[in-house]
């Protein structure tokens, strides 16, 4: 049987971009090798995100309160675990992650057997590279993650990532809440999971607004640093 793959798309006010993203995913020709399903986790959007998604043949979970990206993703991983999916792939609802790049993550998983595969913007430096300030922050998290786990992950803030069953099980039980990507790598590293990166092409967001604004970047770095520190020392 083909591996069951769940594409999890967390959404908050993404009515502009989510229809185009879903269409592209549904048009992918992957079902010869993978049994692909889509789950949209609507994080209590105040726009018409839910209505936009309801027109397509995908799974939709409407959260009654806003949980943030971590809570929305943990909801998705719980869904994946309870429904017997072999792999789960996170894709942002803003259109930054082109669906055609998904095959790179899947192929890398098949080739390496990694528990976690991260789509990296910086391995070959093509496509949207983010702002200079954010790139400095990402470089800082690369250094910090290397200290805590010994893993050299260049794009630790990437939200384009694949989890196998072991990683899904961990994320379903314990996933960071507000800014989960860098902190979760500490959790996975402590659990002994094999983490790999694969170069992918990314775009600018295709609609909506980022959850991390320019003046919040320093706050984000401080808060995530503290969270990574406590995740490392927590039993």
CB half-sphere exposure, 198, CA atoms < 13 A? 22
- Cα 51 from Cα 86, distance rounded (Å): 29
Tens digit of each residue's pLDDT (9 = 90 or more) over 145-166: 888 888 888 888 899 999 999 9
Beta strands, E only, the chain: 4-11, 35-42, 59-62, 87-90, 116-120, 161-163, 195-199
Q: Is 220 left (phi over 0), alpha (psi -120 to 50) or beta?
A: alpha
Q: Which residues have CB under 8 Å from 50's CB, separation 6+?
A: 42, 60, 62
Chain-wide mean pLDDT for the chain? 88
- Cα 14 from Cα 48, distance rounded (Å): 8
Of 112, 234, 104, nearest to 158 (Cα)?
Answer: 104
Of 96, 93, 84, 73, nearest to 162 (Cα)?
Answer: 73
Average confidence (pLDDT) over 109-113: 97
Confidence of residue 179 (pLDDT cuts 50, 70, 90): confident
- For tokens 């939709």, the residue is 60
Q: Which residues have CB under 8 Å from 98's CB, separation 6+?
A: 24, 201, 202, 203
Is 70 exceeded by the pLDDT of residue 124? no
Contact of 209 with 18, CB cutoff 8 Å: no
Q: Name the DSSP class of 162.
A: E
Of 214, 206, 172, 164, nearest to 82 (Cα)?
Answer: 172
Confidence of residue 98 (pLDDT cuts 50, 70, 90): very high
Confidence of residue 35 (pLDDT cuts 50, 70, 90): very high
The long-range contacts involving 212-215, CB below 8 angstroms and separated by at least 24 positions, are 212/179, 214/131, 214/133
Q: Which helix (H) or strand (E) covers residue 136, if one does?
A: helix 132-149
Distance of CA 16 to the CA centre of its chain: 20
3-state secondary structure of 6: strand
**Ordered structural domains, the chain, with CATH:** 4-233 (3.90.550.10)
Is 90 exceeded by the pLDDT of residue 86? yes
Is 70 exceeded by the pLDDT of residue 235? no
Confidence of residue 206 (pLDDT cuts 50, 70, 90): very low
């Amino acid at each position: 049987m083909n591996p069951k793959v769940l594409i999890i798309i967390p959404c908050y006010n993404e009515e502009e971009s989510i229809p185009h993203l879903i269409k592209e995913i549904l048009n992918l020709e992957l079902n010869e090798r993978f049994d692909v399903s889509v789950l949209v986790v609507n994080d209590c959007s105040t726009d018409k995100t839910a209505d936009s998604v309801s027109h397509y043949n995908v799974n939709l979970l409407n959260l009654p309160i806003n949980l943030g990206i971590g809570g929305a993703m943990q909801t998705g991983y719980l869904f994946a675990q309870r429904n017997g999916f072999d792999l789960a792939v996170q894709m942002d609802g803003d259109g930054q992650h082109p669906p055609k790049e998904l095959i790179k993550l899947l192929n890398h998983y098949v080739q390496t057997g990694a528990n976690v595969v991260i789509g990296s913007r910086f391995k070959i430096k093509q496509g949207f590279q983010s702002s200079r300030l954010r790139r400095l922050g990402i470089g800082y998290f690369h250094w910090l993650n290397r200290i805590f786990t010994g893993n050299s992950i260049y794009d630790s803030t990437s939200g384009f990532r694949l989890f196998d069953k072991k990683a899904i099980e961990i994320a379903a039980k314990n996933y960071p809440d507000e800014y989960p990507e860098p902190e979760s790598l500490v959790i996975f590293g402590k659990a002994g999971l094999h983490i790999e990166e694969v170069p992918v092409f990314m775009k600018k967001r295709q609609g909506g607004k980022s959850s991390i604004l320019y003046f919040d970047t320093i706050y984000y770095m401080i808060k995530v640093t503290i969270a990574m520190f406590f995740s490392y020392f927590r039993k």
